[in-house]
Amino acid sequence: MARASEKKLMKRGILDSLPFLVVLIPFAMLFGVVGTEAGLNIAQVMGFSVVVIAGAAQFTALQLLQEGAPVAIVLLTALAVNLRMAMYSAALTPHLGQAPFWQRGLVAYLIVDQNFAIAATAYERETQWSLADRMAYFIGVSIPVVPAWYAFTLLGVLVGATLPEWLALDFALPVAFLSIVAPALRTLAHVAAAAVSVVLALCFAFLPYSIGLLIAGLGAMMAGAQVEKIMERGNG
């Protein structure tokens, strides 16, 4: 049975994640709308959101499928877009790595941009939390975010065709990522990686099947890692 402190932290996590619903709800609805417009049925759209549970990768894969890209390109590009999840996992390992296997598996499934951003920031600030406290908080920040992604994707599927043109949801995609990326640019390495990714994505935008995203992602990781090494040598 959860201790009082764990229940309190779970409730705190729920409250901390609620502001992200402002951009997550239209983001999820937009995928439901776009998925049905692309010819997917309700089971296929929901399968995307429940199994993949990664908005940027879902939109990327859907666009490539519409363009008739080879399956290998679709998979590689979606994986490249989702490489950030591997970095998220590495960042959470010092905080949650000692949890039981089933809890780590649950975190691996639930982790998305929003709950990672909130949890990672809290873990850096609240260094006195126990493992159980950190896990309770992560579950708390996931409770509003993940079910909302499912529910509003479904709503987008069901009502997408009836939405008036003036109620455009396209704004949700860039706003959702700006709300996550901007606060995360805390070091020179983060800024360098973001800048390189933008430049490379624009330079290679002419390549078919969004291959430029693969190049931008790899270039950004290399740039960020190199800047971190330079900074570590400078501080040594």
Any residues with CB less than 8 A from the CB of 53 and at least 6 apart, and which? 109, 112, 146, 149
Any residues with CB less than 8 A from the CB of 52 and at least 6 apart, and which? 58, 61, 78
pLDDT at 1: 47
pLDDT at 114: 85
The C-alpha atoms of residue 17 and residue 54 are separated, in whole angstroms, by 17
Q: Which amino acid, one-letter code, is at 103?
A: Q
pLDDT at 163: 61
Q: pTM of the prediction?
A: 0.74
Query: Are 117 and 184 in contact, with CB atoms under 8 Å apart?
Result: yes
pLDDT at 172: 52
The C-alpha atoms of residue 67 and residue 39 are separated, in whole angstroms, by 13
The residue behind tokens 């490489």 is 83
Residues with pLDDT less than 70, the chain: 1-2, 160-186, 210, 234-236
First and final CA of the chain: distance in angstroms?
Answer: 46
The C-alpha atoms of residue 149 and residue 11 are separated, in whole angstroms, by 19
The SS3 call for residue 68 is coil
The C-alpha atoms of residue 149 and residue 174 are separated, in whole angstroms, by 16
